[in-house]
Amino acid sequence: MATRTCNDGCGDGQESCVDGSWQACKVPLVQRDCSSVCGPGHETCSKGTWGACDAPLPKPPKLKTIVRDFSPKTHPDFEANYPSGLDEGIVQHTLGPDDTPVYAGMPSTPTTSGAANFNMWYHDTPGVNLSEPLDLQLLPAEGEPGLFAYDDQAFFPIDGQLLGNEGRGHNFHFTLEASTTFEYRGGEVFSFSGDDDMWVFINRQLAINLGGLHRKLSADVALDDFAPSAGMVRGQIYPLHFFFAERHTVESHFTLRTSIADPGSCN
């Protein structure tokens, strides 16, 4: 029986000639090591394509957030007659000492009214806002192992609460902030789609800038592209913060997708 060396894209093997026809290439199982934040695993190559890593996956993260409710009667940045569209000059590139955004307007921007008013967005301010904690439970993204998502196309988490709906069908005027930590291992992604303002800071550096009163918009960041400018190296723990604002009727969309996981989510 005649044989010859072949390659299926994963490695070298042999194919045999039987009754005048060359049979399929037979290649020994080809594997390589891989890992997740939860431990080691393996990837297997088949027909030239590496399969998914079989390392144990972290549990879907539950993000602990703070939501603050505002009224257009007491804050000029909510339900204001500002122009619609992106306003990318609202925040500075680096978080402030208390890990909240630092206002960048000089002295204002097209959709904000100055530093003093902006500073209330993510700080408790008696007589202006009320706050309460809110958990956002992400779920595994269907068909995408290791990717987690939170998707709400009618995101009104405080309807009828805090300052109330003020005669509207929903409570449209609120901000939300969240923070977590993660081990940068390489390959992580984070994306957001929604309206209105959204800022994502990774290692306290601005990674997504969707400020402004705008329709539903999307942005994403691949950490391998972002890490060098943010001073990040693989295997180290880093913070992630994001800040959201819903400032105007009549819709509220909020979608997060990420493979970033808290190391504690393996327990």
pLDDT of residue 82: 96
The mean per-residue pLDDT over the stretch 191-211 comes to 97
pLDDT of residue 263: 66
| pLDDT over 80 at 264, yes or no | no
Cβ neighbours of residue 143 under 8 Å, at least 6 residues apart? none
pLDDT of residue 115: 98
Contact 242, 260 (CB under 8 A): no
The mean per-residue pLDDT over the stretch 200-211 comes to 98
Identify the band that residue 131 occupies on the pLDDT scale cut at 50, 70 and 90.
very high
Return the DSSP state at 186. Answer: S
Q: pTM, whole model, 2 decimals?
A: 0.87
| pLDDT over 70 at 172, yes or no | yes
pLDDT of residue 90: 98
Q: Which residues pair with 189 in a beta bridge?
A: 222
Asked which of 25-34, 66-75, 111-120 is least confident by mean pLDDT, the reply is: 25-34
CA distance 72 to 78: 5
| pLDDT over 90 at 37, yes or no | no
CA distance 132 to 263: 26
Identify the band that residue 38 occupies on the pLDDT scale cut at 50, 70 and 90.
confident
Asked which of 56-65, 200-209, 229-238 is least confident by mean pLDDT, the reply is: 56-65
CA distance 138 to 148: 6
pLDDT tens-digit readout, 147-171: 999 999 999 999 999 999 999 999 9
Identify the band that residue 27 occupies on the pLDDT scale cut at 50, 70 and 90.
very high
One DSSP character per residue, 226-244 reads HHHHHT--TT-EEEEEEEE
> Please, what is the average pLDDT of the chain?
94
Percent composition of the chain: helix, strand, coil (DSSP 3-state, to 5): 5, 40, 50
| pLDDT over 80 at 14, yes or no | yes
CB atoms within 10 A of CB 183: 16
